[in-house]
Amino acid sequence: MIVFITGASAGFGAAMARTFVRHGHRAILAARRSERIVALARELGDAALPLTLDVTSRASIEAALAALPEGWREIDVLINNAGLALNTLPAHEVPLEDWETMIATNCQGLVSMTRAVLPAMVARGSGLVINLGSVAGHYPYPGGNVYGATKAFVEQFTLNLRADLAGSGVRATNLAPGLCGGTEFSNVRFKGDDAAAAKVYEGTVPLTADDIANTAYWIATLPPHVNVNSIELMPTCQGFSPFAIKRQG
Ligand code: NDP
Ligand code: 8X3
């Protein structure tokens, strides 16, 4: 299989690249930080191809796909993993730019990548798109505002892909993890405040990037007649909040 992974320079994406290559597949490593994906490709050898790419730019996506060398163009699995949360401020305080960046990356970037890769899959009658959703797209929490909304978009877009693709041989999955440590997710969210980022995982046993990579690998290696529409994972230590009721007095 050839697996195209966006956001392969860190976290889940890097773990997915290692997992697929370890099992004998080839991985296209896409991200903005070239030095990171070049280093990972060096570690993984001939089975990995670094591809510098900004998913928020349609021109960047088109140029990167056009630059794929012969032998790397038939993408079997697209993993739309690139994404981010910015900030935990309430809706009336968070900078609008943070919302715009999340929408541009998690929604616009994901649909642009999908639209670019999908036609060849449909023409071949096989392929799989795995989109990284989140529990934040299923349950609201304070400060989750637009991040959670982008992940709800990811889930509904994935299910609507299924509606369009039924019978085409192309599969689509929304992979929605909960609390997951050992990635840069919280460092990005807290904009480099590593102490605040570390606090998120204090006293917990969170999911790991390998848990997510193994799940993606399992989904991709199911028989072709099986489609996982949506899958949600949480660490055992995570649960659900009660309704918040603000009482008077
Ligand atoms: P990381 O911050 O560790 O990795 C994010 C990756 O996305 C990086 O490789 C980054 O690469 C890439 N990326 C960000 N913006 C762009 C862009 N414009 N173009 C291309 N690549 C981009 O996060 P995780 O691995 O933890 O998260 C991966 C995905 O999983 C995200 O979609 C996230 O929302 C989701 N998720 C994470 C959870 C968690 O708790 N960690 C839980 C649920 C879902 P670069 O900066 O080099 O471009
Ligand atoms: C990341 C999980 O709970 O931080 O998508 O929103 S959470």
d(CA 36, CA 144): 29
pTM above 0.95, yes or no: yes
Task: Give the pLDDT mean for 14-28.
Answer: 99
Specify whether the backbone of 112 is left (phi greater than 0), alpha (psi in -120 to 50) or beta. alpha
* Closest ligand to Cα 108: 1
What was the pLDDT predicted at 154?
99
pLDDT digits (tens, 9 = 90+) for 203-244: 999 999 999 999 999 999 999 999 999 999 999 999 998 899
Q: What are the catalytic residues?
A: 147
What residues does ligand 1 touch, defined as CB less than 6 Å away? 6-7, 9-13, 31-33, 36, 53-56, 81-84, 105, 109, 132, 134, 177, 179-180, 183-185, 188
Specify whether the backbone of 121 is left (phi greater than 0), alpha (psi in -120 to 50) or beta. alpha
Report CA(86)–ligand 1 centroid distance (Å). Answer: 11
d(CA 127, CA 171): 6
Pocket mutation for ligand 2, best pick of 12, 81, 134 (most atoms within 8 Å of C-beta):
134
- Cβ-Cβ contacts under 8 Å for 179 (sequence gap 6 or more): 200, 201, 204, 206, 207, 234, 235, 237, 238
Asked whether 162 and 174 are in contact (CB, 8 A), the reply is no
Long-range (24+ apart) CB contacts under 8 A made by 61-66 are 61/112, 61/113, 61/116, 62/116, 64/30, 65/116, 65/117
Q: Is residue 182 predicted with pLDDT exceeding 90?
A: yes
pLDDT digits (tens, 9 = 90+) for 42-85: 999 999 999 999 999 999 999 999 999 999 999 999 999 999 99
Does domain 2-233 sit in CATH 3.40.50.720? yes
What was the pLDDT predicted at 137?
98
Q: Is residue 249 predicted with pLDDT exceeding 90?
A: no
**Residue 50 has which token pair?**
């670094």
Residues facing 78 on adjacent strands: 4, 129
